Structure 1
Amino acid sequence: MADLPFGFSAGDDPERDKGKKDPGSGSGPNDPFGGAFPGGQFDMSQLGQIFSTLGEMFSGTATSGAGAGPVNYDLARQLASKSIGFVAPVPEQTTSAINDAVRLAETWLDGVTPLPAGTTRSVAWTPTDWIDNTMDTWKRLCDPVAEQISTVWAQALPEEAQAMAGPLLAMMSQMGGMAFGSQLGQALGTLSREVLTSTDIGLPLGPKGVAALMPEAIESLAEGLEQPRSEVVTFLAAREAAHHRLFSHVPWLATQLLNAVEAFAKGTKIDMSGIEEFARDFNPASLTDPSEMEQLLNQGIFEPKATPEQTAALERLETLLALIEGWVQTVVSDALGDRIPGTAALSEMLRRRRATGGPAEQTFATLVGLELRPRKMREAAALWEKLTQAVGSDARDGVWGHPDLLPSASDLDEPAGFIDRMIGGDTTTSELDSAIEAALNEGDEGTDPRP
């Protein structure tokens, strides 16, 4: 992975290495932590004062209860709001224009896909609105990594240190929540000004059925394009509406996406050598100094390692994202192509934005350690286009009836075989119907895990 998850960083820290260069450092007979504190000069009697100081520092976040988890989301929200700054309300005229664009897009989409409209309302969000409406989903995405990291503190310290530093470990866990919350808040504050819609990164971040466009970011995007702003808004409204058709009427899709992200995060393994090195040089007395604490929060002591579980989860996620984005591009192009001349150019612009790792991809890589790119989106779009020509839109969208019916990663490279199976080569219509019927029966028996 090129990017490390939030709370991670790499490289040497000269401040952390000072203790190693100090010739007076070492373990003394009265140092119960076996040299964990530089020079063995730490007086255990200072722990009471340290705990009191830390308690005062944490009291502001602990009282609300929001800081008790692996990520301090109250802090994240505060920092994101501070990063955003003043936000003017969206003018009523702009909101009305977005409503009209979504309604028009829905009408045009009705003619190219049997999936019914999935939007119940359309809104114009400010960056602050985006933070408020997507935070619950970010919690689900970020908690798996943060929870795993928070459990390694006790494992890293020697047994004698664990016996004496119980309260300190709890505080260190809370400090980890503050560190993660700080980086999450800064990242989301930046991302909130860059995303164009609620589904801009391919995940259902916002409430179900709410088509949300971001006027401020759209205005910035339109300034550098040749197309009229009205066409840009309608194009993005159509993409947002198409995403919601999938997420609303393919009930397993959102769960599969988020589960794949969670599986990737839970597959993260931590290199304990970084934590052990930190424990050797760590001096609790430094926590009473705000500047030292800030350095500690930004100090990279975890080195994630790729695992087979992550590799498998990443392939599933990238394939599913590519299929979603490819389908959206196909139906939007079919719906708008003859009506908006710039549709092809706008589609290619967004594809390149995703493929080169735009702000959304970079932020997600920082937060979860995952490059959220649909690497085969072009291949997926080509597959959906050829499938439409071969079997029509009804049979094409019937593929979304069950996850087992979707094209695989290899099908994206060789779409001809999948299309042959769809038109009766290896996979007959009765077999497809049997798979769908089996899925429905499973749900009737109460064993379907979907909410």
Structure 2
Amino acid sequence: MSNQGPTNGDDHDPMSEMFRRMFGGNAPDPEEIQRAMNQFGGGMPFDPSMMDPQMIQNMMQQFQFMMHSSDEEGPVKWDLAKQTARQTVAGQDPSVGSFAAKEISDALRLADSWLDQATTLEPANVPVVSWSRAEWVESTMDNWREMTEPVVLSLSEALTRAVTEQLPGQLPEELQGAMGNMEPMMKNLGGSMFGLQLGHAIGELAQEVLSGTDTGFPVAGQRMAMLPVNIEEFGDGLDIEPDQVRIYLALREAARMRLYANSPWLARDLTAMVQQYAAGISIDVSAIEDAVQTLDPMDPESMNQMFSGSMFIPEPEGAQKAAIEQLETLLALVEGWVDVVVTEAAKPLESADAMREMINRRRASGGPAEHAFGSLVGLDLRPRRLNDAAELWSTIEESEGREYRDAIWESQLRLPTQEDLDDPQGYMKRRESAAEQSASLDEDLKKLLEGGYEDN
């Protein structure tokens, strides 16, 4: 191969072709790009002829996609996010065979029959699916977008604005002249960086989640979903029979789905709380500006860190803090109820206690939802008060019975509060006091309407 540098206008030169494909008719002069590359390389000549042709092709496709994605997608490139998520699981994602799917279906059917003895809530009566990791990505991406978009858009717009305004002055003079107006390109770059990061996080999540509600959110929609390959990997190394692992996880999935099916407001409120958090998010503009000053525009890792986002979200205050606390409380109540119900239903399993301890430790120490949201938007979704919530539900059941416990989920107005998590034993006393006050007010109102009070 020739070691001569590219010459402008050579249709067969790889560097010339790469930039023409990337930028279309506004392609910069490759000789100017090469001079800039040489400057960054400490004087060592940059020889594009030594580049692997397939690597050039991949770079062209990826960069062109990043720079010229449709503006209709908005500041975040969601198609790129889905593509990246699928690429993250590619090569390590066996399809679900009919035997594995039958095992899941049988486990969920058995789980529902056992749950009938542990809760008064009716079965969810939704389709049962066994997904590969890629199928989970495809089927849940729209729900992840709905939950993360308000937060990610706020971050993307603030970061892109700061980078667009400040970055051009930090580029080498040769590259500044070659790139011209950087604003459209940087907007695409910012959206693409977020898309890549969100896609990678969801791809990593796809390799960890065990079911459709494993994150605490019903991201699988109106389906009872489980991932056989992840369940198998989760059980590897455990001194527990695979069928017991599968049945225990099926119990948790079926229990959560009963909650969501019998309490239609629950999924809506969880999403609304995330969106409320997003609405109150504030971006530390000064931190962004400082980061841009130290940004190396020729270092992909530096750019990647710049667009990580969560480092620019200060500690929440006011309404935003209240939204997070409400969200954490609701997630804890869901997981605590599931823990109590599944503990009762799973009594026929020899390894139930060991599985319970393992799963609760996994959730409390930071499950997949925490890692996905935390790395993207700084939102920690651990059910921190899982043990308090489990104690509360047990206390309510012991005092008032199972039917009373489950009827609480009929309305969000009846749900326990943070105060109840602080003092589970005092829950019933507070409820009785509130009921007495309400009855007294009703009686006073009735007398007033009936003319029962006489003027003095």
Task: State the TM-score, normalized to the length of structure 1.
Answer: 0.74
**Counterparts of 1:228-239 in structure 2 under 5 Å?**
228-239=241-252
Q: Does 1:272 align with 2:281?
A: no
Q: Which residue of 2 aligns with 1:353?
A: 362
Larger of the two Rg values belongs to structure: 2
Distance 1:91 1:282, change over 3 A: closer
Q: Which residue of 2 aligns with 1:426?
A: 434
String of CA shifts for 1:348-407, please: whole Å, max 9, x gaps.
Answer: 111111111244422321122111111111111111111111111111111112212111
- For the residue of structure 1 that corresponds to 2:199, the secondary structure is helix
**Structure 1 CA distance for aligned equivalents of residues 262 and 272 of structure 2:** 18
Per the TM alignment, residue 123 of structure 1 is displaced from its structure 2 partner at its CA by 1.4
Q: Does 1:254 align with 2:260?
A: no
**Does structure 2 retain, via aligned residues, the 8 Å contact 1:156–1:272?**
no
**Does structure 2 retain, via aligned residues, the 8 Å contact 1:196–1:218?**
yes
Q: Does 1:173 align with 2:187?
A: yes
Per the TM alignment, residue 169 of structure 1 is displaced from its structure 2 partner at its CA by 3.1
Q: Which residue of 2 aligns with 1:318?
A: 328
String of CA shifts for 1:189-216, please: whole Å, max 9, x gaps.
Answer: 21111111111121111121x1111111
Between 1:142-151 and 1:66-75, the stretch displaced more is: 66-75
**Counterparts of 1:102-113 in structure 2 under 5 Å?**
102-113=108-119
Q: Does 1:220 align with 2:225?
A: no
Q: How many residue pairs are counted as aligned between the two chains?
A: 373
**Does structure 1 retain, via aligned residues, the 8 Å contact 2:340–2:393?**
yes
Q: Which of the residues 73, 89, 94 maps onto 2:95? A: 89
Q: Where does structure 1 lack aligned partners over 5 or more consecutive residues?
A: 1-47, 435-451
Question: Partner amino acid for 1:417?
Answer: G
**Does structure 2 retain, via aligned residues, the 8 Å contact 1:112–1:331?**
yes
Paired-residue identity, % = 37
**Structure 2 CA distance for aligned equivalents of residues 225 and 172 of structure 1:** 48
Per the TM alignment, residue 126 of structure 1 is displaced from its structure 2 partner at its CA by 0.9
**Structure 1 CA distance for aligned equivalents of residues 133 and 436 of structure 2:** 49
**Structure 1 CA distance for aligned equivalents of residues 258 and 300 of structure 2:** 48
Q: Which residue of 1 aligns with 2:129?
A: 123
Q: Which of the residues 218, 229, 238 maps onto 1:204? A: 218
Q: Which residue of 2 aligns with 1:386?
A: 395
Per the TM alignment, residue 49 of structure 1 is displaced from its structure 2 partner at its CA by 5.4
Q: Which residue of 1 aligns with 2:75?
A: 70
C-alpha RMSD of the superposition = 3.2
String of CA shifts for 1:1-56, please: whole Å, max 9, x gaps.
Answer: xxxxxxxxxxxxxxxxxxxxxxxxxxxxxxxxxxxxxxxxxxxxxxx656999999
Q: Which residue of 2 aligns with 1:42?
A: none
Q: Where does structure 2 lack aligned partners over 5 or more consecutive residues?
A: 1-25, 34-58, 169-178, 443-456
**Structure 2 CA distance for aligned equivalents of residues 171 and 332 of structure 1:** 52
**Does structure 2 retain, via aligned residues, the 8 Å contact 1:269–1:306?**
no
Question: Partner amino acid for 1:138?
Answer: W
Per the TM alignment, residue 68 of structure 1 is displaced from its structure 2 partner at its CA by 2.6
Per the TM alignment, residue 137 of structure 1 is displaced from its structure 2 partner at its CA by 1.2
Q: Which has the higher contact order (CA 8 A, sep 6+)?
A: 1
**Does structure 2 retain, via aligned residues, the 8 Å contact 1:421–1:428?**
no
Q: Which residue of 2 aligns with 1:328?
A: 338
**Does structure 1 retain, via aligned residues, the 8 Å contact 2:108–2:254?**
yes
Distance 1:119 1:367, change over 3 A: farther
Distance 1:89 1:273, change over 3 A: same
Q: Does 1:80 align with 2:85?
A: yes
**Does structure 1 retain, via aligned residues, the 8 Å contact 2:215–2:368?**
no
**Structure 2 CA distance for aligned equivalents of residues 158 and 125 of structure 1:** 45
**Structure 1 CA distance for aligned equivalents of residues 352 and 336 of structure 2:** 14
Per the TM alignment, residue 430 of structure 1 is displaced from its structure 2 partner at its CA by 8.0
Q: Which of the residues 391, 403, 412 maps onto 2:412? A: 403
**Structure 1 CA distance for aligned equivalents of residues 138 and 413 of structure 2:** 35
**Does structure 1 retain, via aligned residues, the 8 Å contact 2:67–2:185?**
no
**Counterparts of 1:9-20 in structure 2 under 5 Å?**
none
**Structure 1 CA distance for aligned equivalents of residues 373 and 424 of structure 2:** 30
Q: Does 1:186 align with 2:186?
A: no
Per the TM alignment, residue 417 of structure 1 is displaced from its structure 2 partner at its CA by 2.1
